[in-house]
Structures are given as C-alpha cells and as structure tokens.
Amino acid sequence: MLVLRNRSIKGIKKIFPGFKASEVQGVRDIRYDWRMRNEPIRTMQTKPFTDQRPGTSGLRKKTKVFEQPHYVENFAQAIFDSLKDKSGFSKETLAIGGDGRYFNRTAIQKIIRIAAANGFRQVLVGRSGFLSTPAMSALIRRRNALGGILLTASHNPGGADGDFGIKYNVRNGGPAPEGVTERIYEETKKIERYLTLESGDVNLEREGTTVLGNTHVTIVDPLFDYTEVQKGLFDFSAMQALFQSGFRLRFDAMHGITGIYARHILEELLGAPAGTVVRGEPLEDFGGIHPDPNQLHAAGLVQSMSMSGAPDLGAACDGDGDRNMILGRNFFVTPGDSLALIAQHAAECLPGYSSGLKGAARSMPTSTAVDRVAAKLGIRCHETPTGWKFFGNLMDAGMCTICGEESFGTGSDHVREKDGLWAVLAWLGILAVRRTSVARLVADHWETFGRSYYQRHDYERLDLKSASEMIAGLRETIAGLAGTEMADTRVLNADDFQYTDPVDGSISMRQGIRIILADESRLIGRLSGTGTEGATLRLYFERCRPDGGEPVEEMLRPLVSAAEELFQLKRRFHRDTPSVIT
C-alpha cells in the first residue's frame, strides 16, 4: 500500500491524474492500495427476496432479516440497477453512512464493495461509518453526490434483536420519492445477480482515500459539512453569549448518532459546559433503550426538567438525529407549537432566515398552530401527507422554508431531511435574542395566536389484518359522517385525505382518516409505516381555543371518547388504553 501523507493537492494530482480537491476536503492522507485496485469484479448469482418493498422511510426489518446471506447485497444492487442509465456511474459520487446501530459496519463494507463493482467514481463514507440523517442530506448537497445510502431504522430500537434499515436519498439530499422506491422494488423482484469485489475491508476509522477497483473510497469527517451548514444559519456568537450568561441546557442524545454532533457544536463551539450532552456516545444497541425522543422514552430528561434547579432548556434527539423534543422547566413543548414558534421568530432571531420565510408546511396530522402564524406572516402553509419527501418538492420549488411533522420532526430548506439538532439550535437562537423562559415564550405565543390543545395516541403491535380491515371499512363510510353530532359539536367534513402535489401534480391517496368539526377541532387516524412488528394505529386529537390555560386531557376528552367508539378499539383490539401518549 502506498500512503501519501500531508501531500499538497498539486502533488497528489501529479500521481493521480483527474484527482479533484473537492473529493477529500479536510483529508490529509491518500492511501492507494494496489491490491484493491486490481481486484476483479465478481458476478454473484442470487434470487429475489419477496419482502424488499421500501416504505416511507426506506426498507426496515428486524436486524436478523438483514443478516441473511445476500439480503443487503440484493437491495443495494437493486438501488443501483434502478438508477443506472447508459452513462453508468463513472462520473458519480455516492455517500454512505448510518446511525451507528448494530450491523452498520458490516452492511457498509458490503455496500462499498458493490458500489465499487458498479463503477462509481467516488464513494464518501463517514468516519466510523457515522452520518446522521440530516448530515447525510448536507453531505449529498454540498458534495453534489448522486445520492446516499443511509443505514438506519431511525427511532426504532437497535441491537442484534432490534431493527435495521436501508434508505436511499436522492440528489437533492431528501428521501427517495415514491417513483424511485417503486423502481427499486421492481428491481428486487427480478434480481438474479449482484456485482461485488472480493477485497478486504476499508478502514473506516481513519480519514483518507483508498482506491478500490476504479473507485476512490474517501473516509470523511462526519461533522464537517453539517457544521458548516449550521454556521451559515445561526448566530454562534449570540448563543455563546447566552451560555456565558449562565444559561443551562440538558441535551439527551439517547446514545444515538446526534451525540457526536451535539458535543462538537454545543460544547466545543458554543461553549456549553462539559456534561451538557448526556448519553452522547453512539452505541450499537442505544444502551438498551428505545431512542425515540418523547415523554415516555426520554422520561429521565422529563424528570430532570421538573426538579428544583432544572436547566433552562431540555432537548433530546432520536437514534439517527432527525427527531427532537423540546422542554422548558416543568413544561413540554408540543412539536406543533415548536414548529409554530420557530416560524414566528425566525426572521428576527435567526440570521439565516432574516429575509423572511417563503412559505411553511406541515404534515396533515400535525397541529394547525403554524397555519395561524403563516396567515399573520402573509405566507402560505401547505398541508401534506406524512413523509418528509413531500416537503422536499416544495422546498426545491422555493415554496417552503420551514416545515414539520407531529412525530417530533422539524426542519428547513437548509437540508431535505428533518433535523433534530437544527431545531435545538433554533430554540437557542430565539432564546438568545428574547432572553425569556421557554414557558413564557410559548404562553406569549398562545396569547397572540390561540392554543392548539393536541395529543397523539399510539396503539402499537395491533394485528395487521384487523387494523387494515378497520381502516378500509372506515374509508367506505367516512363521508357519511358529515353533518352528524360528534364530541359536543357537529362534523363539518370527513374524508380520507388526498394530496395533489402543487409542484409536479402527483396525487397521493389514502393518507389518513380526517374528521373536521364545526369548532375547528380535528380527529385523525392513520396506520404508521415506520414499525417492524404488526400495525401501529395513530390517533391525533386537536382542539383550538383562544386561551391556553385548560388541562389538555380535559379539553380533548370528548374527542378521545368519539375516537374510541369510531375506531372500535375495545371490540376489535381489546385495548383500553394507548401504548404511548405524546
């Protein structure tokens, strides 16, 4: 192996004609492995698996499913076969990384070899195989990559007995749209072979470039591109001053990938005290916890924020870094309120948005709090199906700047994924200017815009067949509810939500049962596609009122009772209470 240390770009170009400096930003060593370069491409015979249809967030299964021989290889090759045109990949860059969960490294090595055998010019891999979901989006966009392969099951548990996933992001940095995922699925059904190299593993721990076949495999700093993007959006000096004033933050990374980003930005760059980030080391099994930032799975953080002497701000992110939860002292901020607050204050408090917002967007089940802010700002708020890919089209067309989902996802057009740490930085930026408490900031918002009393009830691990039949039955009868009495008021409209994309005209049908009442309350039900066991029914309750001082449970009780009857939860599923309330 030839190792070139601290060589100038000019010197490296003399040895490797066509070498581009942009390929190795921040990389000082180029490792040229002649044995790997001369490794012949091997064609491996295989047979299709019948369960490789990607969902909203890629292909998710139990880890043991992915550990089957050829399972990862088949799906990776199907991705490349669905993308390949006559010109091939000889001029293209692919990014690879994941959230650090069990089996990540093994899968990454397999995909590197398949990518090289398929002729990619360059493969970028996060050091140690690490890349958060928003960092992957930033890397794709900044390095002009064809796309990226993420190894993650997001907020689902990890470990040998946990969950695993493979997700493809396209050139704009966002999740593959349905047309792409369907092409991938079609390839999985007819695959007969995959290409690979019989080479040794690439060293993922050391930044630098290894030439594998004709492909430059570059191990990059997973923090660099993401951090540069954030520096362009937020006033780091104002946030440094906030911490210097004695402001305290507790950030729970839940042993997911965000820990490395949070420690770098919050503690090293912004000067938050050491120990601000807790559970910051990424672990393959997330320390045995469920890395989902809500009141149930981040109960320790919730408890710490209710104690005497609690920090000023509490925050948590999930396994792959795209979700977030925001807390004040003895105060939970709903995802809908968080989105609305950021939209309200962005232009005045966050430099990257000082010219104003082009538009806002939320998923259909998300509370309408941001709609009221958008109306006051004179911008449009788009209502989309669940799935970040729908926001991507709007952002690419310049129709949306800030967007969010009720499932603790918030983001903006700086990347094409939801971004948990971005949301925390946005709150820090706002508090650095407003110099008030989280609770006071939200209370002021309610006084101006009214309050959306809101909850989500999850019923997990339901029988899939029964749950699907229930939703199908409601689709047939839902329109007949219009004009009937429900939850102490009258049903104004009831439908199965359908969305026509204003950019490309595509139509997404059957996106959730939606009931709108005469007092602007809403009751919504849909089956989630992010789990790996059985079905998860999610029910959403929203009641809008001009004041914000009533108990949430009391305010929503009529809606909850109506949903229990409508969805026949006790009769069909023998469930008296939801699995999780957020």
Q: Can you spell out the DSSP letters for 420-443?
A: HHHHHHHHHHHHHHH-S-HHHHHH
CB 156 within 8 A of CB 59: no
Average pLDDT in the 299-308 region?
96
The fraction of the chain above a pLDDT of 70, given in percent, is: 93
pTM over 0.95: no
Q: What does residue 221 show for φ and ψ, rounded to 5 degrees?
A: -70, 115
Kindly report the CATH number that applies to the domain delimited by 451-581: 3.30.310.50
SS3 content of the chain, % helix, strand, coil (to 5): 35, 25, 40
Residue 547 pLDDT: 84
Do residues 156 and 178 make contact, with C-beta atoms less than 8 angstroms apart? no
Cβ proximity of 424 and 438 under 8 Å: no
Strands across the sheet containing 324-328: 277-278, 249-252, 313-317, 324-328, 331-333
Structural contact between residues 533 and 157, judged by C-beta atoms closer than 8 angstroms:
no
Beta-strand ranges (E) seen in 483-561 are 485-486, 489-496, 499-500, 507-508, 513-517, 522-528, 535-545
Flag whether pLDDT at 3 surpasses 80. Answer: no
pLDDT value, residue 289: 95
What distance in Å separates the CA atoms of residue 31 and residue 109, rounded to the nearest whole number? 17
Q: What is the pLDDT of residue 435?
A: 98
pLDDT of residue 178: 86
Residue that the structure tokens 């959306």 belong to: 452
- The pair of structure tokens assigned to 437 is 């408490």
User: Tens digit of pLDDT for each residue in 141-184?
Assistant: 999 999 999 999 999 999 999 999 999 999 999 999 888 999 99
Q: Which of 57, 82, 132, 154 is catalytic?
A: 154
Q: Give CA–CA dist 219/503, Å, rounded.
A: 36
What's the sign of the alpha-carbon dihedral 339, 340, 342, 343? Answer: positive
Q: What is the DSSP string of 399-412?
A: S-SEEEETTTEEEE
Tokens for 229, please give them.
Answer: 């993007």
Under a CB-based contact definition with an 8 Å cutoff, are residues 404 and 454 in contact? Answer: no
CATH superfamily of 31-219: Alpha-D-Glucose-1,6-Bisphosphate, subunit A, domain 3 (3.40.120.10)
Determine the pLDDT at residue 582: 87
**How high is the pLDDT of residue 144?**
97
**227-449 has the same fold as 31-219:** yes
Q: How confident is the model at residue 531 (pLDDT cuts 50, 70, 90)?
A: low
CB neighbour list of residue 489: distance below 8 Å, 6 or more residues apart: 517, 518, 519, 521
Roughly how many angstroms between the first and final C-alpha of the chain, as a whole number? 54
Domain limits of the chain?
Answer: 31-219, 227-449, 451-581
Instruction: Give the pLDDT confidence score for residue 532 in this predicted structure.
Output: 59
pLDDT of res. 580: 86
Contact 97, 151 (CB under 8 A): yes
Cβ proximity of 534 and 461 under 8 Å: yes
Nearest to 424 by CA among 274, 321, 278: 321
Q: How confident is the model at residue 28 (pLDDT cuts 50, 70, 90)?
A: very low
Tell me what pLDDT residue 38 has: 62
Q: What is the mean pLDDT of residues 273-278?
A: 98
Q: How confident is the model at residue 26 (pLDDT cuts 50, 70, 90)?
A: very low
Looking at the DSSP bridge assignments, the partners of residue 328 are: 331
Of 67-81, 344-358, 567-581, least confident by mean pLDDT is 567-581
- Report CA-CA distances (Å) from 31 to 97, 212, 535: 20, 10, 48
Lowest mean pLDDT among 256-265, 356-365, 430-439, 570-579: 570-579
Q: Residues 184-208: what's their mean pLDDT?
A: 97
Known active-site residue 154: yes
CATH of domain 227-449: 3.40.120.10
| Residue-wise pLDDT tens digits, 98-132 | 999 999 999 999 999 999 999 999 999 999 999 99
